[in-house]
């Protein structure tokens, strides 16, 4: 089961990278200022702050010791619980950022919140499956954990969809909290050790 930590690390790194930017996207940057620029930047600062809490979750799931499946599954269940909380927080916080000063922003942020909540539910369900699995079955419940981790790939798309609102994409370029997300780099702990 050494593939599971690698999948988790890769998915989380992709999620963090997708959150800060759309890569080399062609999101427009405005050279002219409009009266709503400051409001849009402040709004995106709140959005990025709300999503930042998921980035502090441990990026490497626990190693599963095939000689002690009960401990491995208990550790993985605890990790699933941490992940669920890490994604529930942004879902809640995104719904508290207030109305968007830019048309279309509310819908995009609600879609982000819905995705965070859905991923959190997957981790909650995986935790329950692990806790209900036979402790002596070396793989019981681990499939649910793997599926929850795989679902992290869905996180990137809604965050990138903010780029479909050019004013918000430009505001994200100026918002301090969004810049902080962009500077997140994979830590050495993302590479699983044998």
Average pLDDT over residues 72-99: 92
Q: Give the pLDDT confidence of 44-76 residue by residue, as tens digits.
A: 999 999 988 777 777 778 888 878 888 888 899
What pLDDT is stored for residue 139 in this prediction?
Answer: 78
Tokens (6 digits) for 153: 């790939």
Joined tokens for residue 15: 């999620």
User: Which residue ranges make up each domain of the chain?
Assistant: 1-17+69-185
pTM for the full predicted model: 0.71
Sign of CA dihedral 84, 79, 152, 47: positive
Round to whole Å and give the CA distance between 156 and 21: 10
- Closest of 123, 186, 117 to residue 150, by C-alpha: 123
Phi, psi dihedrals of residue 101, rounded to the nearest 5°: -80, -5
Structure-block tokens of residue 105: 């922003």
């Amino acid at each position: 089961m050494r593939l599971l930590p690698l999948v988790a690390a890769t998915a989380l790194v992709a999620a963090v990278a997708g959150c800060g930017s759309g890569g080399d996207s062609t999101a427009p940057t405005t050279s002219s200022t409009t009266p709503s620029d400051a409001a849009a930047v402040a709004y995106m600062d709140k959005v990025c702050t709300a999503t930042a809490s998921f980035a502090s979750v441990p990026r490497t799931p626990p190693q599963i010791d095939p000689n002690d499946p009960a401990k491995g599954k208990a550790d993985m269940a605890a990790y699933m619980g941490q992940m669920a909380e890490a994604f529930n927080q942004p879902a809640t916080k995104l719904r508290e950022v207030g109305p968007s000063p830019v048309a279309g922003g509310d819908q995009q942020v609600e879609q982000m919140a819905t995705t965070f909540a859905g991923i959190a539910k997957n981790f909650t369900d995986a935790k329950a499956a692990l806790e209900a699995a036979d402790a002596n079955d070396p793989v019981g419940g681990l499939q649910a954990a793997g599926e929850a981790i795989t679902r992290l790939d869905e996180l990137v798309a809604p965050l990138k969809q903010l780029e479909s609102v050019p004013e918000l994409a430009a505001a994200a370029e100026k918002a301090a909290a969004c810049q902080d997300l962009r500077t997140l780099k994979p830590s050495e702990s993302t590479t699983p050790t044998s």
